[in-house]
């Protein structure tokens, strides 16, 4: 997954440390990218937004658990991410609204629905291509042929 993220950033002509990243599914798979980049805590909290089943993870976790969960759509609208990573295993979590919102703010949206099996992915490649328009989204390099093949078989 980490290699996919770095390859996507390179393909977009950017650097990882310049991304605003929403991680939907804040387990070890999702958080690995934030840790790997080695950003200072203050910088990381400005660039990485992690959600788990309780919503947006904040410094004040006790208050966050008592507050209503921050839906993924709200986090995407407010953080204007350049990268969206899905490791939550919540099928179709990347709705048309979420993808179009992101694509309206980013020239080359990096969207990585990485949950396995494909039936648990946040979105399938064909809808991401359609919803971002003009082919601005492309599959993560290391997974593209595997994901597209699976999507064709299971879709």
The answer, yes or no, to whether residue 59 has pLDDT greater than 80, is no
SS3 18: helix
The band of 33, judged by pLDDT with boundaries at 50, 70 and 90, is: low
SS3 79: helix
Has this prediction a pTM greater than 0.85?
no
Task: List domains and CATH numbers for the chain.
Answer: 2-154 (3.40.50.720)
**What's the whole-number average pLDDT of the chain?**
78
Q: For residue range 17-30, what is the model confidence (pLDDT) as tens digits? A: 788 989 898 766 66
d(CA 143, CA 56) in angstroms, rounded, equals 27
Which residues are CB-neighbours of 123 under 8 A, at least 6 positions away? Answer: 86, 92, 93, 94, 99, 111, 113, 131
User: CA-to-CA distance for 31 and 12, rounded, in angstroms?
Assistant: 21
Q: Is the pLDDT of residue 72 over 70?
A: yes
DSSP state of 68: P
- Measured on CA atoms in the order 105, 23, 9, 113, is the torsion positive or negative? negative
pLDDT, tens digit, for every residue of 117-131?
888 889 998 899 999
Q: Is the dihedral of CA 41, 47, 53, 55 positive or negative?
A: positive
Q: Indicate if the pLDDT at residue 8 is higher than 70.
A: yes
What pLDDT score does 87 carry? 87
Between the alpha carbon of residue 125 and those of residues 18, 50, 139, 152, 153, the distances in Å are 25, 23, 7, 9, 12
pLDDT computed for residue 97 by the predictor: 94
Mean pLDDT value of segment 41-70: 71
User: Looking at residues 44-62, what average pLDDT do you find?
Assistant: 77
Residue 88 scores a pLDDT above 70: yes
């Amino acid at each position: 997954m980490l290699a996919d993220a770095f390859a996507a950033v390179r393909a977009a002509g950017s650097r990882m440390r310049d991304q605003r990243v929403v991680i939907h599914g804040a387990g070890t798979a999702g958080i690995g990218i934030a840790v790997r980049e080695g950003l200072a805590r203050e910088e990381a909290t400005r660039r990485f937004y992690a959600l788990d089943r309780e919503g947006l993870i904040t410094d004040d976790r006790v208050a966050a658990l008592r507050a209503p969960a921050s839906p993924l759509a709200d986090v995407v609208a407010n953080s204007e991410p350049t990268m969206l990573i899905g490791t939550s295993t919540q099928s179709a979590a990347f709705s048309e609204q979420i993808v179009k919102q992101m694509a309206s703010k980013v020239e080359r949206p990096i969207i990585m629905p990485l949950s396995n099996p494909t039936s648990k992915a946040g979105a399938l490649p064909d809808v991401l291509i359609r919803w971002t328009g003009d082919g601005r989204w492309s599959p993560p390099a290391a997974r593209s042929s595997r994901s597209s093949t699976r999507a064709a078989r299971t879709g």
